Amino acid sequence: MSQAVVQDSAVLVHFTLKLEDGSTAESTRDSGKPALFCLGDGSLSADLEAQLVGLKIGDRHAFSLTPEAAFGAASPDLIQYFSRRDFLQSGEPEVGTIMLFTGMDGNEMPGVIRDISGESVTVDFNHPLAGQTIHFDIEVLDIDPEQEASHAHSAG
């Protein structure tokens, strides 16, 4: 019997993410470094996990997810405005650059420079793929047998 992805599987995959215009947003095939996803750990959307459940080693699956089901809708609350002076130590900001910002809680978060107008710099803290329909092409390379065995054991 072939092993299939279940809710708590660790899955090694190659994937390509494409946008509506056909451009590639990210591809593990290009880098030659597959990604390890752990279903049930909260790092993937429920809709993405649902697409993976039932796949077997060697399966290739293409599907699309709406913005809400993939990386979320873009939130205007995550657009912040800074003074150009705020960038004196980090250098002149450029549109499209991703920079790390330190939040009030001390944690770092990435922001994309969206616009520079006079002394105002617009920074977008939404996920770079938020608000976009994403077309996935996923190939299952391996399913962690120990993860599956412990899941089956704990269920018994």
The confidence score (pLDDT) of residue 151 equals 43
- Virtual CA dihedral for 126, 132, 135, 141, nearest 10 degrees? 10
pLDDT (tens digit per residue) in 1-23:
458 999 889 999 999 999 999 99
Which two tokens mark 138?
């996923």
Domain chopping of the chain, boundaries: 10-72+129-155, 76-124
Long-range contacts made by residues 36-39, C-beta under 8 angstroms, separation at least 24?
A: 36/10, 36/11, 36/12, 37/10, 37/11, 37/13, 38/8, 38/9, 38/10, 38/11, 38/147, 39/5, 39/6, 39/7, 39/8, 39/9, 39/10, 39/11
Q: Distance between CA atoms of 111 and 96, rounded to whole angstroms? A: 10
b/e string for 77-116 if b means 16 or more Cβ within 10 A? eeeeebeeeebeeeeebeeeeebeeeeeeeeeeebbbeeb
3-state DSSP call for residue 79? strand
10-72+129-155 and 76-124 agree in CATH topology: no
Please write the tens of the pLDDT for every residue from 104-152: 888 898 999 999 999 999 999 998 899 999 999 999 999 984 544 444 4
CATH class assigned to 10-72+129-155: alpha beta
Architecture category of domain 76-124 in CATH: Beta Barrel (2.40)
Residue listed under structure tokens 């608000």: 131
Banded pLDDT at 102 (limits 50, 70, 90): confident
pLDDT tens sequence across 38-48: 999 988 999 99
Look up the pTM and report it.
Answer: 0.72
Say how many CA atoms lie within 13 Å of 32 toward its Cβ.
Answer: 0
